[in-house]
Amino acid sequence: MKKVVTLLIIGLVIGLSISAVGAEKIKIGALMSLTGPLGPYGPPIVNGAKLAVEQINAAGGVLGKELELVVRDTATSPDVGRDAARKLVELDHVPAIVGALSSGVTIAASSVTIPAEVVLISPASTSPAIPALKDNDYVFRTVVSDAVQGIVLARMALLLNYQKVSVIYVNNAYGKGLADVFKKNFESYGGKVLAVVPYEENKPSYRGEVY
């Protein structure tokens, strides 16, 4: 069973503070989509994190030290996100990272954070592939998995008397994970899936996928 997130972070922060005596602040990383497809969602989440840091610091900080939020943009890209995670780990020396938003980015970032034993906590990544990571209890999320959401969607479709459906999904870790779970459960409940069609983002037309 996974450790309690709060206790794990506190343990890491204690370890950091002991190994870096005299450090004025404790850095916490944030991997956020400030640009790219999920760009509209990143800034409000960053603002919420900044508010939390301000309130914690106003209350005395952690172990007598102030927190500092270090934000890096993932551009909602797995490659960019992996590089951003590497900078947070190797340059900023953070003990924990909040993010990413996209499932694909979170999975990519975890390839850096897990070996470095840095906690990664996503507020939005729902792919069923995330619990399958060999993460040594360093990857967490605060949102329900698509393994659950896909089941509910399948049940809702049947409750609304849809017996035959087609599925079109964005071709990334999030879209494929949700589509796979929906299809499996919809068919197990007696429904029929006529087609499952992936699509790429930012195409000028999706006529080929729809017709």
- What residue ranges do the domains of the chain occupy? 5-141, 146-206
Contact status, residue 153 vs residue 137, Cβ threshold 8 Å: no
Q: Would you place residue 24 in the very low, low, confident or very high pLDDT band (cuts 50, 70, 90)?
A: confident
Residue 24, Cβ density class (10 Å: 0-12 exposed, 13-18 middle, ≥19 buried): exposed
C-alpha dihedral over 107, 110, 114, 120, to 10 degrees? -110
Handedness of CA 68, 73, 78, 80 (dihedral sign): negative
pLDDT tens-digit readout, 142-166: 998 988 999 999 999 999 999 999 9
Could you give the residue ranges of the DSSP H alpha helices within the chain? 5-19, 42-58, 78-90, 103-116, 146-159, 173-188, 207-210
pLDDT given at position 22: 52
Q: Which amino acid is at 91?
A: L
pLDDT tens by residue, 82-98:
999 999 999 999 999 99
Reported as type and span, the H/E element at residue 206 is: none
Question: Average per-residue pLDDT in the chain?
Answer: 90
Provide the pLDDT confidence category of residue 211 given band limits of 50, 70 and 90: confident
Q: From the options 3.30.420.40, 3.40.50.2300, 2.40.33.20, 3.40.50.2000, give the CATH code of 5-141.
A: 3.40.50.2300
CB 8 within 8 A of CB 137: yes
Note the pLDDT of residue 201.
Answer: 86
Q: Could you please report the per-residue DSSP string of 110-172?
A: HHHHHHHT-EEEESS---TTSTTS--TT-EEESS--HHHHHHHHHHHHHHTT--EEEEEEESS
Site of tokens 């509910």: 152
Largest CA distance in the chain: 65
Q: What is 146-206's CATH topology?
A: Rossmann fold (3.40.50)
Same fold: 5-141 with 146-206: yes
Q: What is the mean pLDDT of residues 192-196?
A: 96
